[in-house]
Structure 1
Amino acid sequence: MAFNKLIEYDDASPEVRAVYDDIMSHRGVEDVNNFWKCVAAHPPTLRDTWHSVKSIMDEGALSPLVKQMIYMAVSITNACAYCTASHTAAAKTSGMTSEMFGELQAVIALANATNRLALGYDVPVDDQYLSK
């Protein structure tokens, strides 16, 4: 059974509408995307997830572009088509060029390949890499 009913603004509870309003205001958009409309089926998760996204993905020690590219890499590795599409679009909006996209894909492919080798060979971690 699928649990992907979209909760539209007009059908949302006041609690969900408040989160939607904050998302739209913060992002400068007229509607929320389908991710939020699905998660709204459980308002506490909607609220908590939006709070985390807002606080983590905004400007910090890492730029929003770097954060979006990291998010893309994790989403691609996890095979999440929705997150890959949405964060690729956000990265482009944040300034990702086609050259950056190509390098990111190469890094993702390399990391996945070498991770599998390290796992397969059960490579012991060098002492110099262990936190002391």
Structure 2
Amino acid sequence: MTKHLIEYAQASAPVRVVYDDIMHTRQVDQVNNFWKCLAAHPSTLERTWQSLKQIMGPGALDPLTKELIYVAVSVTNNCSYCIASHIAAARRAGMTDEMFGELQAVIGMANETNRLAVGYRVPLDDGFRD
């Protein structure tokens, strides 16, 4: 599908509006390949960008925490593109090598214990119920 990357010069006006917003919001001079690929379907590009901008923008969680969560989910889902993209973003937000190592340990442990709990069909403790 990489043949479907839509560069700015070839983008339609609605796609350029989204590209411009991405570049302005992220303070970069070009959009990355994820967005260029989605641009083949402008409504998907617009919807995904608006959702991501809202969710990853200011909120109760700080930017680094959001990026660490994104890395953890991306590792678990085996999305190499998202892993690379969000590790870079996490580093820009302050993630250190030590934090990265600890994050990987937590991801591995969570995946292991999740599989054990599912495999053993561990019943929920009364104290954990709402």
Could you state the TM-score of these two structures normalised by the residue count of structure 1?
0.95
Higher mean C-alpha deviation, range 55-64 or range 29-38: 55-64
Give unpaired runs (5+ residues) of structure 2.
none
Q: 1:87 to 1:16 in 2, by over 3 A?
A: same
User: For residues 51-130 of structure 1, what are the structure 2 equivalents within 5 Å?
Assistant: 51-130=50-129
Q: How much is the aligned-residue C-alpha RMSD, in angstroms? A: 1.0
The CA deviation string for residues 48-103 of structure 1, in whole angstroms up to 9 with x for no partner, is: 11001111101210000000000000000000000000000000000001111111
Residue type of the partner of 1:40? Answer: A
May I ask how many residue pairs the two structures share in their alignment?
130
Identity %: 64
- Name the SS of the counterpart of 1:96 in structure 2: coil
Residue type of the partner of 1:112? Answer: N
Give the ranges of 4+ consecutive aligned residues of structure 1 lying more than 2 Å apart after TM superposition: none
Q: What's the CA shift for 1:4?
A: 5.4
Could you state the TM-score of these two structures normalised by the residue count of structure 2?
0.97
- In structure 1, the residue matched to 2:38 is 39
Give unpaired runs (5+ residues) of structure 1.
none
Higher helix share: 2
Residue type of the partner of 1:25? Answer: H
1:30 aligns with 2:29: yes
Higher mean C-alpha deviation, range 80-89 or range 57-66: 57-66
